[in-house]
Structure 1
Amino acid sequence: MRQLLERCCGLDVHKKSISACARVPDERGEVAELYATFGTTTPDLLELSDWMMGLGVTHVAMEATGDFWKPVYYILEADFELLLVNPAHIKHVPGRKTDAIDAAWIAELLSYGLLRKSFVPPPPIRRLRDLTRYRKALIRDRSREVNRVHKVLEDAGVKLSAVATDVMGVSGRAIMEALIGGTSNPDALASLAKGRLRAKIPELHKALTARFKDHHGFMLQRMLAHIDDLDADIAAISGRIEAEIGPFAEKAKLLPSITGVGPRAAEAIIGAIGVDMSVFPTSGHLASWAGLCPGQRESAGKRKSSRTRKGSELLRTTLVECAHSASHTKDTYLAEFFWQVTRRQGKDKAIVAVAHEILIACWRVLSTGTAYCDPGPGALRARSEEQIRRRAIRQLESLGLRVTLDAA
């Protein structure tokens, strides 16, 4: 096998140390392997960079090990061609295993061009990704805290959620604040209802006749304060995201044209895949990277499980949420597609299929710079009819028949 890279280096990255193996030509022109070990602090990483530059290294490869690779990658990316590699793609044969051997194996595979580069977005997209991930984590924390509020109310016998659609709405918050303040009279509590909830005052009277104790009020007060803090944090992060997404604002405005995709989802999608779709040659490459296409597992001519593989958690969960929204729309292509797949394979697989369709649409929108145009429910029926027609023609031709189609 012909060596493609003359000067390259493999890094085995750990929390406190990095084992490096550089493959460079010696005085006779033969490949020499040079080993060194470095720490992971910033001065140590700069020393690693100087060592490799002194050897004339041009390409560097490392495994994606947790988050330990990130500071290494960020410091080296300006001076070297970096390859971040999936550890599953470079498993060593059984036998001796040391950090130096691992680094040498990575360097050898790199020199022969056998490593596949993982997608690492540019710095502006990485900042956006960090912010959208953090916001999503805070939103999950808020949902958990709201669930705890429901649990405390149920424990106290306050059946507010059975009458009010949203206990965290204006009326619900007013009633809970009154409970915390020591008000226990059902009439007084029910009178705090606002808007359409006032039509349910008799039901509220029964729901608010409870045994709300002091410790319930103490916990509820802490929970509501925590929710308020989370709301403030989420709002602040959303403001920072708007500032970071500024250079990509035009593309971000196009994504909500896709059925089910809102402005917040558009920010998360761009934070996950960026706006430069040249890194994904086709929409199928993007779907495969995201883990939203059927798995290909075949052995001895038999098709094994087609379960989707694990992809980007942020992107997948965002697209699944968008798919749920799209499935509840009316007279749209994605809604009809959802119900068509549901009839054959069930709702869970249908949601993943719709998420796949949304991702394909995102790729097209970002690639072309044009808004999404919903083809409508009729397009799916036309496509199904065309597929039936082609399938029937193939079956007849396989029997040695020549097929000519004439309109009835």
Structure 2
Amino acid sequence: MKDEQVTTVVMEATSDYWKPFYYLMEGQLPVMLVNAKQARNIPGRKSDVNDATWLAQLAAHNLLHGSFIPPEPIRQLRDLTRTRSSLVHDRTKVYQRMEKFLESSGIKISAVVSTLTGVSARHMLDALVGGERDPHVLAGMAQGRLRQKIPDLIDALEGRFTQHHEFMMRLFLKQADGLEEMISELDTQIVEAITPFREEALAISTIPGLSNTSSEVVIAEIGVDMSMFPDAAHLASWAGVCPGQNESAGRSKSAHTRGGDSYLKAALGTAALSATRQKNTFLAARFRRLYPRRGGSRALVAIEHTILTAIWHMLAYGEVFKELGPDYYQQRNQGKAKIRAVKELERSGFIIHLEVAGA
């Protein structure tokens, strides 16, 4: 290609097939990876040769936009965080299968304990696999506040736990322990991989709702170089946390959010849900403000958008997160807040007379 003086290589992002060719030419030639949906050919003329010709024509007229491909250190961190996410989901599925299988033996331990991953539940499961069948002995292994539920545990541990159940439960526990060990190894490797970006991760973890794990996922998905996104709105659109636009003849057909980055959206969703449950924060106040008018789902997406906007500004300009406080809207619109409160009381049947305090 260099001998033929090729100036640009354009390729469609088809599954994972583009990766070996892109990584081979990366740093050697200008390579542009494009979304196949945005570079569709004319219907009825679909073939690999025609697609290549069409891509070349679009690229010659500068009508294509390259996809975001992070640098190699971020890609390696992304592989680690995504693998950890998959293993966490697999671990959850194992415990769900374990719970269903216990129910087939008549043991309803999950009706008393909050999760099978707890210390008390694990001691009981190990004892069951070890041959213990007395519900009083098993219930006596409860620790902490769970000991207050020992009578309920005795009833829940009454069942028909046979050798078959013992064999299957041993397999489930072995699988869960293996996944736990793999997740622990990934956590250690992620700590090493994120070392060059530790300051950025710690900075965005100051946003309410964002844990260290969520911060690692955010860095792995969007990187730390915000020059790839012209502004926060472009990043929100790429991530899929803003309304879509599908309008024709003056009518809006759909405003659903696009797919976006599923791993990033999952981390932002967890962070947004956690932030709305915290008191005395701006994000929680914003959620309560939007919930009555837009509903829970849309209000949650709005919080995700707000968090991602703050992340863009912190990474692009090195800004520090500033907590606006739960009374931000009241302080900004005191007149509207007063009118809204008066109308709400009047609808409840009260007659309101306002006086200035201290007058």
- Name the TM-score, length of structure 2 as normaliser: 0.90
List per-residue Cα deviations over 1:369-405 (Å, max 9, x = no partner).
233122111113345668999xxxxxxxxxxxxxxxx
Partner of 1:330: 279
Larger deviation, residues 229-238 vs 191-200:
191-200
Larger deviation, residues 359-368 vs 93-102:
93-102
Larger deviation, residues 71-80 vs 368-377:
368-377
Alpha carbons of 1:321 and 1:368: their partners in 2 closer, same or farther (altered >3 Å)? Answer: same
| Contact map agreement 2:247 2:253 (CA 8 A) in 1 | yes
Partner-residue secondary structure (3-state), 1:284: helix
Partner of 1:118: 67
Alpha carbons of 1:172 and 1:106: their partners in 2 closer, same or farther (altered >3 Å)? Answer: same
- Does 2:298 correspond to 1:352? no
Q: What CA distance in whole angstroms lies between the structure 2 residues aligned with 1:106 and 1:220? A: 55
Alpha carbons of 1:85 and 1:134: their partners in 2 closer, same or farther (altered >3 Å)? Answer: same
Letter in 2 for 1:333: F
Q: What is the Cα deviation at residue 262 of structure 1?
A: 0.4
Partner of 1:280: 229
| Greater Rg by CA | 1
Q: What CA distance in whole angstroms lies between the structure 2 residues aligned with 1:143 and 1:220? A: 15
- Does 2:9 correspond to 1:60? yes
List per-residue Cα deviations over 1:39-73 (Å, max 9, x = no partner).
xxxxxxxxxxxxx1111112111111111111111
Q: What is the Cα deviation at residue 166 of structure 1?
A: 2.6
Letter in 1 for 2:93: R
Q: What CA distance in whole angstroms lies between the structure 1 residues aligned with 2:127 and 2:298? A: 45
- Does 2:204 correspond to 1:255? yes
Q: What is the Cα deviation at residue 96 of structure 1?
A: 3.5
| Contact map agreement 1:333 1:374 (CA 8 A) in 2 | yes
Letter in 2 for 1:381: Q
Runs of 4+ in 1 over 4 A off after TM superposition: 383-389
Q: Which has the higher strand share?
A: 1
Q: What CA distance in whole angstroms lies between the structure 1 residues aligned with 2:214 and 2:333? A: 30
Q: What CA distance in whole angstroms lies between the structure 1 residues aligned with 2:38 and 2:336? A: 37
Partner of 2:349: none
Partner-residue secondary structure (3-state), 1:298: strand
Letter in 1 for 2:120: S
Structure 1 gap segments, 5+ residues each: 1-51, 390-408
Letter in 2 for 1:144: K
List per-residue Cα deviations over 1:107-143 (Å, max 9, x = no partner).
1111111111111111111111111111100000011
Partner of 2:79: 130
| Contact map agreement 2:240 2:258 (CA 8 A) in 1 | yes
| Contact map agreement 1:290 1:312 (CA 8 A) in 2 | yes
Q: What CA distance in whole angstroms lies between the structure 1 residues aligned with 2:174 and 2:288? A: 42
| Contact map agreement 2:105 2:159 (CA 8 A) in 1 | yes
1:228-267 alignment, distance < 5 Å: 228-267=177-216
Q: What CA distance in whole angstroms lies between the structure 1 residues aligned with 2:91 and 2:300? A: 25
| Contact map agreement 1:175 1:190 (CA 8 A) in 2 | yes
Letter in 2 for 1:102: D
Q: What CA distance in whole angstroms lies between the structure 2 residues aligned with 1:122 and 1:386? A: 50
List per-residue Cα deviations over 1:158-214 (Å, max 9, x = no partner).
221222223221111111111112211111111111222222222211221222222
Alpha carbons of 1:143 and 1:383: their partners in 2 closer, same or farther (altered >3 Å)? Answer: farther
- Does 2:306 correspond to 1:361? no
Structure 2 gap segments, 5+ residues each: 339-359
Alpha carbons of 1:295 and 1:382: their partners in 2 closer, same or farther (altered >3 Å)? Answer: farther
Alpha carbons of 1:386 and 1:244: their partners in 2 closer, same or farther (altered >3 Å)? Answer: farther
Partner-residue secondary structure (3-state), 1:349: helix
Q: What CA distance in whole angstroms lies between the structure 2 residues aligned with 1:250 and 1:208? A: 49
Question: 2:252 is matched with which residue: 303, 307, 313?
Answer: 303
Q: What CA distance in whole angstroms lies between the structure 1 residues aligned with 2:276 and 2:11? A: 41
Q: What CA distance in whole angstroms lies between the structure 1 residues aligned with 2:144 and 2:197? A: 40
Question: 1:222 is matched with which residue: 171, 175, 191?
Answer: 171
- Does 2:16 correspond to 1:87? no
Q: What CA distance in whole angstroms lies between the structure 2 residues aligned with 1:72 and 1:362? A: 32
Q: What CA distance in whole angstroms lies between the structure 2 residues aligned with 1:155 and 1:299? A: 55
Alpha carbons of 1:386 and 1:317: their partners in 2 closer, same or farther (altered >3 Å)? Answer: farther
Partner of 1:169: 118
Alpha carbons of 1:239 and 1:66: their partners in 2 closer, same or farther (altered >3 Å)? Answer: same
Alpha carbons of 1:368 and 1:57: their partners in 2 closer, same or farther (altered >3 Å)? Answer: same
Q: What is the Cα deviation at residue 217 of structure 1?
A: 1.6
- Does 2:104 correspond to 1:155? yes
Q: What CA distance in whole angstroms lies between the structure 2 residues aligned with 1:81 and 1:387? A: 55
| Contact map agreement 1:257 1:373 (CA 8 A) in 2 | no
Alpha carbons of 1:116 and 1:350: their partners in 2 closer, same or farther (altered >3 Å)? Answer: same
CA RMSD across the alignment: 1.8
Partner of 2:292: 343
Q: What CA distance in whole angstroms lies between the structure 1 residues aligned with 2:228 and 2:116? A: 45
Q: What is the Cα deviation at residue 303 of structure 1?
A: 2.0
| Contact map agreement 2:330 2:337 (CA 8 A) in 1 | no
Larger deviation, residues 307-316 vs 154-163:
154-163
